[in-house]
Chain A
């Protein structure tokens, strides 16, 4: 038999594999276009000036003492924020993993909030809750009869660290505790029967086993803090607390020096890529280090000692207060208004009336309704487009299981670039194209798409991997072709994951601030942008009204994602 015949036979034989090879091509093209074109624009303006190709600009930026200071500060604040998050999160992880107590479910549920809440909302909640005129200060003032607000933390380094801690500690807590819960508890028992006391057991057995999970969660949080934008921009309150991301935005949009911004983004991209590689490696180490137990480790016990009970109580109350407090205060403030400057605030629908244009709005509130419709339309579009792209990539990734998937890496690629830099890329494109408003909005949608795709991919892919290959094989042997198999077996089984992914994409786009702000000109209005402008002009209640709508969207996402956890077919 000659080789040509052989090859043909092989191709025919595995016709169904060809289908899976073709499926991802359009999405790959879309992703490459959406990601690399803006990146190309960014990098080219870092290296190419009117005089042609030059490394001078990059060199200049990297040796400038001001930028070096910013780089160091960026790393320093991320390190400190990560440490504080660990400090707050680890006791909680211990409590959750070891004990069952009232409020545990609540803490676990609450800890999912930071995963879905947009950063602009964190910022607003912080101002409203911790501000000089915020809920916490007012509470303390009336409690202790003070005339001055006791906590002055806003617009300072403390505020940045505090906000990052609040925003990120639940991530560490839930990741570490879920790993901890599934560790085989017999190892601890074995250690104790071998003569080690509780402390020795913890230090020599439990901690080393937990370490991979802790490192993995901490590096994720470090990455988030490194790329943090809105929190630093608003809460940092000044040039002395500028990080990389804020400086990129400032150079590009305030100083009009997009070349310097592009050069700066090189550093950011490099660091983020390294961090992501490290995070990926730590994830792989995590997967290798333990055989994951399906059953709960021990019979859960209630905290026995008084100090244990107090710790549990304290933790429940404080996480309740600090996670929910800022969010609740945003909602409460949105329903309050004072009739005149001196009068005390009372319940009012003023801001919602202004928002819906039922009342004459002042300042930026005038653009609120437009922003709401814009954001909703953009988010809908993003949700509808990301799911098919992510799904088709999942199909191809699933097919090549075993090999390090190039496609999976490609799908995660947009994560290596912070959303500010994606925004910068699209801003540079818009500067070249000089189109109208429609073009600007198109670019916003595209930027959101790039940002949302990795998240949707991460939502659908694990669900796809849960479908045993034997289902597809079974369907093929029963006479259904690859397309029919996809429509009748895979698609129905992925319905839930696709819906969750769409909802995620919708919420992500609704709350997207970093890229939108970086790329938007003044005529573009989306919900978070208008919120930012309202905060900037000290109309906090107006911002709260918009924030409440955003909270509503996030709540839906939150509920859906909680349901999706238990909602897949019992296999």
Chain B
């Protein structure tokens, strides 16, 4: 697979920041790099594009080492956060810019620009000046310009961050559609986890200059490799392992759990949508399902979210987040989480079902 798509091992450092990231993107994939600000995701893009000096490592694109090539010979297109449309050129001149550099004839340029504009659904925009365009239109023109020279790789640096929420949703569908139509290998940088989950074939989570986890959106959301990934990609509750004996409800066998204590700080994690909320004492759980039960949890806040309620409950000094389909009628509720929804971590690293391994699951 090495000669198909992008394989990189990037090293760079400046001041008090070092970047050391390894990941790969298969040909035709749309990969999202996501991470908090300052995690090095934009630097990674600049390293791939060649705008920032690389200190060793390797950069393979479709089997070729491009790490030594200057920026303008890499055939990598990039859409910048501010779109960087050249203000002294109109839409047509902007899109034709890379074609002109490659000395295409005027007729070919015209034809290609028209085709690209129809791809991004901006037919007839040729003569507009970039100042007259709305944010969303600028973004699409920038995308068309980046695609004009048939690059081998497309880099998008937070392309939607300057737009309002509604437009963002529409445009990310558009980007996905354009990606599917062109089939171009794409690396997309964002700090918005919802955006990453909805658009990407593959997600690369970065933190402090390192890749924390790489994989499909579902895998990352449901099986986060570390507590950092777990809390960054969506909400959840982190609790110490020590409260398990107190809360465990094990209706089945006498002692079906293997408990293997390890060195380090043991924690458990679960997502709010996996918590059952009940305002009377009986949880509607099948009797044979082992679960944790938090009795007498006090509702601290209850926010209406449209399709559900988001609750923050306090139980013995811990805060537990949960989603409920109705507003609890009593200030005290009982919360329940099934064992198989719980993820376990030692010192923040995942230890897939090592402490608790129920028999029969």
> Is B77 part of the binding interface, using a Cβ–Cβ cutoff of 8 Å?
yes
Give CA–CA (A168, B98) in the complex, Å. 50
Name the one of A6, A475, A477, A492 contacting B49, with C-beta atoms under 8 angstroms.
A477
Name the one of B76, B82, B97, B102 contacting A475, with C-beta atoms under 8 angstroms.
B97
Task: Please state if A489 and B86 are interface contacts (CB–CB under 8 Å).
Answer: yes
Looking at the complex, which of B53-61, B206-214, B222-230, B264-272 is the stretch in contact with chain A?
Answer: B53-61
Task: Please state if A478 and B87 are interface contacts (CB–CB under 8 Å).
Answer: no
Task: Please state if A477 and B70 are interface contacts (CB–CB under 8 Å).
Answer: no
Task: Please state if B72 and A476 are interface contacts (CB–CB under 8 Å).
Answer: yes
Given contacts A478-B149, A481-B72, contact A13 B88 (CB under 8 A): no
Name the one of A14, A484, A569 contacting B53, with C-beta atoms under 8 angstroms.
A14
Looking at the complex, which of A218-226, A466-474, A554-562 is the stretch in contact with chain B?
Answer: A466-474
Task: Please state if A12 and B70 are interface contacts (CB–CB under 8 Å).
Answer: yes
Task: Please state if A479 and B84 are interface contacts (CB–CB under 8 Å).
Answer: no
Question: Looking across the interface, which residue of chain B has its beta carbon closest to that of A484?
Answer: B101
Q: Chain A residues with Cβ under 8 A from B46's Cβ?
A: 473
Given contacts A6-B56, A479-B72, A481-B70, contact A13 B86 (CB under 8 A): no
Q: Mark B86-116, 1 if CB is under 8 A from A, else 0.
A: 1110000000011001100000000000000
> Is B50 part of the binding interface, using a Cβ–Cβ cutoff of 8 Å?
yes
Name the one of A470, A478, A569 contacting B81, with C-beta atoms under 8 angstroms.
A470
Min distance, Cβ B308 to any Cβ of chain A, angstroms: 39
> Is A571 part of the binding interface, using a Cβ–Cβ cutoff of 8 Å?
yes
> Is B243 part of the binding interface, using a Cβ–Cβ cutoff of 8 Å?
no
Given contacts A1-B56, A479-B102, A484-B101, contact A13 B80 (CB under 8 A): no
Task: Please state if B71 and A474 are interface contacts (CB–CB under 8 Å).
Answer: no
Min distance, Cβ B157 to any Cβ of chain A, angstroms: 9
Q: Chain A residues with Cβ under 8 A from B149's Cβ?
A: 478-479
Task: Please state if B82 and A470 are interface contacts (CB–CB under 8 Å).
Answer: yes
Give CA–CA (A13, B148) in the complex, Å. 24
Task: Please state if A478 and B145 are interface contacts (CB–CB under 8 Å).
Answer: yes
Name the one of A9, A468, A476, A492 contacting B67, with C-beta atoms under 8 angstroms.
A9
Q: Chain A residues with Cβ under 8 A from B53's Cβ?
A: 10, 13-14
> Is A570 part of the binding interface, using a Cβ–Cβ cutoff of 8 Å?
yes
Question: Looking across the interface, which residue of chain B has its beta carbon closest to that of A1?
Answer: B56
Name the one of B54, B84, B101, B102 contacting A13, with C-beta atoms under 8 angstroms.
B54
> Is A292 part of the binding interface, using a Cβ–Cβ cutoff of 8 Å?
no
Q: Which of A478, A482, A569, A571 has the most CB of B within 10 A?
A: A478
Interface residues on B, range: 35 or more
> Is B68 part of the binding interface, using a Cβ–Cβ cutoff of 8 Å?
yes
> Is A488 part of the binding interface, using a Cβ–Cβ cutoff of 8 Å?
yes
> Is A15 part of the binding interface, using a Cβ–Cβ cutoff of 8 Å?
yes
Q: Chain A residues with Cβ under 8 A from B311's Cβ?
A: none
Name the one of A9, A476, A489 contacting B68, with C-beta atoms under 8 angstroms.
A9
Q: Chain A residues with Cβ under 8 A from B78's Cβ?
A: 473-474, 477
Give CA–CA (A471, B89) in the complex, Å. 12
> Is B131 part of the binding interface, using a Cβ–Cβ cutoff of 8 Å?
yes
Give CA–CA (A9, B58) in the complex, Å. 11
Question: Looking across the interface, which residue of chain A has its beta carbon closest to that of B54?
Answer: A13
Give CA–CA (A12, B149) in the complex, Å. 23
Task: Please state if B84 and A571 are interface contacts (CB–CB under 8 Å).
Answer: no
Give CA–CA (A539, B74) in the complex, Å. 71
> Is B146 part of the binding interface, using a Cβ–Cβ cutoff of 8 Å?
yes
Question: Looking across the interface, which residue of chain A has its beta carbon closest to that of B148?
Answer: A478
Q: Chain A residues with Cβ under 8 A from B74's Cβ?
A: 477
> Is B285 part of the binding interface, using a Cβ–Cβ cutoff of 8 Å?
no
Min distance, Cβ A234 to any Cβ of chain B, angstroms: 47
> Is B1 part of the binding interface, using a Cβ–Cβ cutoff of 8 Å?
no
Give CA–CA (A9, B67) in the complex, Å. 8
Task: Please state if A474 and B84 are interface contacts (CB–CB under 8 Å).
Answer: yes
Task: Please state if B97 and A488 are interface contacts (CB–CB under 8 Å).
Answer: yes
Min distance, Cβ A496 to any Cβ of chain B, angstroms: 10
Give CA–CA (A482, B51) in the complex, Å. 12
Q: Chain B residues with Cβ under 8 A from A481's Cβ?
A: 70, 72
Task: Please state if B70 and A16 are interface contacts (CB–CB under 8 Å).
Answer: yes
Give CA–CA (A9, B80) in the complex, Å. 26
Give CA–CA (A7, B287) in the complex, Å. 67
Question: Looking across the interface, which residue of chain B has its beta carbon closest to that of A472?
Answer: B84
Task: Please state if A13 and B70 are interface contacts (CB–CB under 8 Å).
Answer: yes
Min distance, Cβ B314 to any Cβ of chain A, angstroms: 37
Give CA–CA (A477, B145) in the complex, Å. 11
Q: Chain A residues with Cβ under 8 A from B54's Cβ?
A: 9-10, 13
> Is A415 part of the binding interface, using a Cβ–Cβ cutoff of 8 Å?
no
Min distance, Cβ A5 to any Cβ of chain B, angstroms: 10
> Is A53 part of the binding interface, using a Cβ–Cβ cutoff of 8 Å?
no
Task: Please state if A474 and B80 are interface contacts (CB–CB under 8 Å).
Answer: yes
Give CA–CA (A468, B85) in the complex, Å. 10
Min distance, Cβ B22 to any Cβ of chain A, angstroms: 16
Min distance, Cβ B98 to any Cβ of chain A, angstroms: 4
Give B residues with C-beta under 8 Å from A. Answer: 46, 49-51, 53-56, 67-78, 80-82, 84, 86-88, 97-98, 101-102, 131, 145-146, 148-149, 155
Give A residues with C-beta under 8 Å from B. Answer: 1, 6, 9-10, 12-16, 468, 470-471, 473-482, 484-485, 488-489, 492-493, 569-571
Pull 7 A–B residue pairs with CB atoms less than 8 Å apart, ordered by A. Answer: A12-B69, A13-B68, A16-B70, A473-B51, A477-B49, A479-B73, A569-B88
The list of the 7 closest CB pairs from A to B, nearest first, reads A569-B87, A474-B84, A470-B84, A478-B98, A476-B71, A470-B80, A15-B70
